[in-house]
Amino acid sequence: MHPLTSQFLPLSPAALHILMALAGEDRHGYAIMREVARQSDGQCRLGPGTLYDNLKRLLDKGLVAESAKASDDDDPRRRYYRLTNLGRQVLAAEIARLEEMFREAKLGLAGTKPRRA
């Protein structure tokens, strides 16, 4: 476990979803909300309170930064966000962490008889 990223783990569900929405490209706030809903097939929908609350915290922690506008003819109200390098590392670490645990859980689910402690 990397000392660099472990202080940020475990991520809250909302933070995880936001980082994942930004994994592929920079997005503005409203687009993040839409992407989270899309990625999760509607299972996870962030309201504006949750989004901006979490964005603020992620900005403060340096996992996310504001990024430049897409272009000069882009909607001028939009504020774009991107993952920092740290944010990418933290997201990768959280994914690795959970996937490792899922591996073990799936082994347990594959068994049918409860074994006694």
Partner DNA sequence: CAGTCTAGATCGGAATCCGATATAAAGATT
Partner DNA sequence: AATCTTTATATCGGATTCCGATCTAGACTG
Our CB check for DNA shows the closer of 72 and 112 to be 72
Residue 5 interacts with DNA (CB under 7 A)? no
Q: What letter represents residue 91's amino acid?
A: L
Cβ at position 115, least distance to DNA in Å: 16
20-39 exposure pattern, b = at least 16 Cβ within 10 A, e = fewer: bbbeeebbbbebbbebbbee
Residue 25 dihedral angles phi and psi, to the nearest 5°? -170, 160
Compute CA distances 74 → 18, 19, 78, 82, whole Å: 22, 23, 8, 17
Cβ at position 49, least distance to a second copy in Å: 17
Residue 47 interacts with a second copy (CB under 8 A)? no
Helix (H, G, I), strand (E, B) or coil at 17: helix
DSSP summary character for residue 41: T
- Which range, of 49-57, 58-66, 98-106, touches a second copy by CB under 8 A? 98-106
Q: Check: CB of residue 65 under 8 Å from CB of residue 84.
A: yes
Q: Which of residues 50-109 bind DNA (CB under 7 A)?
A: 50, 52-54, 57, 75-80
Residue 114 interacts with a second copy (CB under 8 A)? yes
* Binding stretches for a second copy (CB under 8 A): 1, 6, 9-10, 12-13, 19-20, 23-28, 31, 39-41, 43-44, 67, 70-71, 80, 82, 88, 91-92, 95, 97-99, 101-102, 104-109, 111, 114-117
